[in-house]
């Protein structure tokens, strides 16, 4: 648990440093970048991961997909 907190803290500090720097003459809207980062930080667990499994069958029996000719 401590490692997860430490990793998140390092990620937050890195993002803050990167968001706080600007190149060129353009003014950077730091506030909107921080709000966007904060929203992503809070909502990152709300997304579901999508995984697809491939099942291969021969004569109705499941087989290893590496056995199927390309």
Q: What was the pLDDT predicted at 44?
A: 77
Residue 27 structure tokens: 């003014």
pLDDT surpassing 80 at residue 2: no
Residues 6+ apart with CB under 8 A from 63: 56, 57
Measured from the Cβ of residue 19, the count of other Cβ atoms closer than 10 Å reads 17
pLDDT (tens digit, 9 = 90+) per residue, 8-40? 888 888 877 776 665 566 666 777 778 888 888
Residues 6+ apart with CB under 8 A from 15: 37
Higher pLDDT, 67 or 48: 67
State how far the Cα of 9 lies from the Cα of 20, in Å rounded to an integer: 16
pLDDT (tens digit, 9 = 90+) per residue, 33-62? 788 888 888 777 776 667 777 888 888 888
Say whether pTM exceeds 0.75: no
């Amino acid at each position: 648990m401590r490692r997860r907190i430490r990793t998140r803290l390092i990620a937050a500090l890195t993002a803050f440093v990167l968001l706080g720097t600007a190149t060129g003459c353009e003014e950077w809207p730091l506030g909107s970048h921080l709000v966007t980062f904060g929203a992503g930080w809070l909502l990152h667990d709300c997304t579901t991961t999508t995984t697809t499994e491939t099942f291969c069958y021969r004569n109705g029996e499941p087989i290893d997909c590496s056995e199927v000719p390309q």
